[in-house]
């Protein structure tokens, strides 16, 4: 079974940013995504956002390496200074790559 190497881009953000980030991902060329609600954790900013009445979500998308780089740069430029947002990529191998490219 042939596979295609893609990148899994994961964005953890405040729930309030969901619609905005998804709209921007589509503008960058993302064809599909998955949103998982109510993810929790604690990082370098100290207390989790849930302690302040908010929640976090996880947005994931499978894209080619070039688009993954564009997404990471875009999120860093537009969100890191003012929001509790992280973004990372992992290598992924998929079948039916036409669904993602």
What pLDDT, on a 0 to 100 scale, did the predictor assign at position 58?
97
Confidence of residue 101 (pLDDT cuts 50, 70, 90): confident
Work out the percent of the chain whose per-residue pLDDT is above 70: 88
State pLDDT tens for residues 17-62. Answer: 999 999 999 999 999 999 998 887 776 666 555 545 568 999 999 9
This prediction has a pTM of 0.88
User: Which residue, 86, 97, 95, is CA-closest to 59?
Assistant: 86
For the chain, give every domain's residue range. 4-96
**Comparing 4-18, 47-61, 72-86, which segment has the lowest mean pLDDT?**
47-61
Distance (Å, whole) CA 32 – CA 63: 9
pLDDT exceeds 60 at position 72? yes
Distance (Å, whole) CA 94 – CA 31: 15
User: Which residue, 76, 47, 77, 59, is CA-closest to 18?
Assistant: 59
Q: Has domain 4-96 been given CATH number 3.30.70.120?
A: yes
Distance (Å, whole) CA 93 – CA 39: 25
Confidence of residue 88 (pLDDT cuts 50, 70, 90): very high
pLDDT, average across residues 2-30: 96
């Amino acid at each position: 079974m042939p596979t295609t190497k893609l990148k899994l881009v994961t964005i953890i953000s405040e729930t309030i940013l969901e619609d905005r980030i998804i709209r921007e991902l589509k503008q960058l060329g993302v064809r599909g995504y998955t949103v998982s609600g109510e993810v929790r954790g604690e990082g370098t900013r100290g207390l989790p956002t849930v302690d302040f009445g908010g929640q976090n979500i996880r947005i994931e998308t499978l894209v080619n390496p070039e688009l993954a780089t564009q997404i990471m740069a875009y999120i860093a430029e537009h969100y890191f200074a003012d929001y509790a947002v992280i973004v990372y990529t992992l290598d992924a191998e998929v079948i039916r790559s036409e669904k993602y490219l």
